Amino acid sequence: MTGRDQPEEGNISIMSNKLARGMGSFFKPCECRRPSSCPHTTAKTPQGSTTSSRQAKAPSTRALAQPSLTITVPATANLGSASAGSTHSAQLGTITVTGSEVPQWDVTVTATALTTTGGTIATSNIAYWSGPATADTGNEACHPGQKTAAERVITLNAARTAFSHSGSTATESCSWNPTLVISVPTTAAAGQYTDTITHSVT
């Protein structure tokens, strides 16, 4: 049977914010009622009249960081062959999530049923376990959803947590190579089965 894992771009959020504040400059005739006690700086014009000025503050700007979050998955995966009534395990291939300025993210996994001409293996017969991180640039900030086979989720008939990250806003990535465990029914029709495994990051 074969399966394919199609990439999902995930929720990338990019935000760009700029703050700018400051004062411009302006000039206006002095309006003090007692010019002899005027506190403003005065300057003579060529015609002999006086004007007052106030010192302008230079404008300031501040740029905020731009958060980003990406996920890459294998386009397809060959899960090998199995016989009716057996339990079959196969790895999907490496999945990598990279985040920048994102202190917390989670990856969920879902699946469609395995199908072939005249036959279906339901998602209730498909189990998943992430395994440990195969690469972690975040100093142990990556957390597997199911580190061992004993912790594997029972079925993929609903969204399950595959991996998560927490504790840092630096640019960090987590990689893992998950395993599917397929319980093939005794009544399964012979043929080439396909399904879609979707990983989403938020």
Residue range 24-53, pLDDT digits in tens: 333 445 555 555 555 555 445 455 555 555
179 bridge partner residues? 91, 129
Write phi, then psi, for 94 (nearest 5 degrees): -70, 135
Q: 3-state class of 65 per DSSP?
A: coil
Tokens of 118: 């005249």
Residue 179 CA to residue 181 CA, distance in Å, equals: 7
More confident residue, 10 or 155: 155
Is the Cβ–Cβ distance between 106 and 202 less than 8 Å? yes
Is the Cβ–Cβ distance between 83 and 193 less than 8 Å? no
Q: What is the pTM of this model?
A: 0.67
Stretch among 26-35, 52-61, 94-103 having the lowest mean pLDDT: 26-35
More confident residue, 169 or 90: 90
For 108-130, the pLDDT digits (tens) are: 999 999 999 999 999 999 999 99
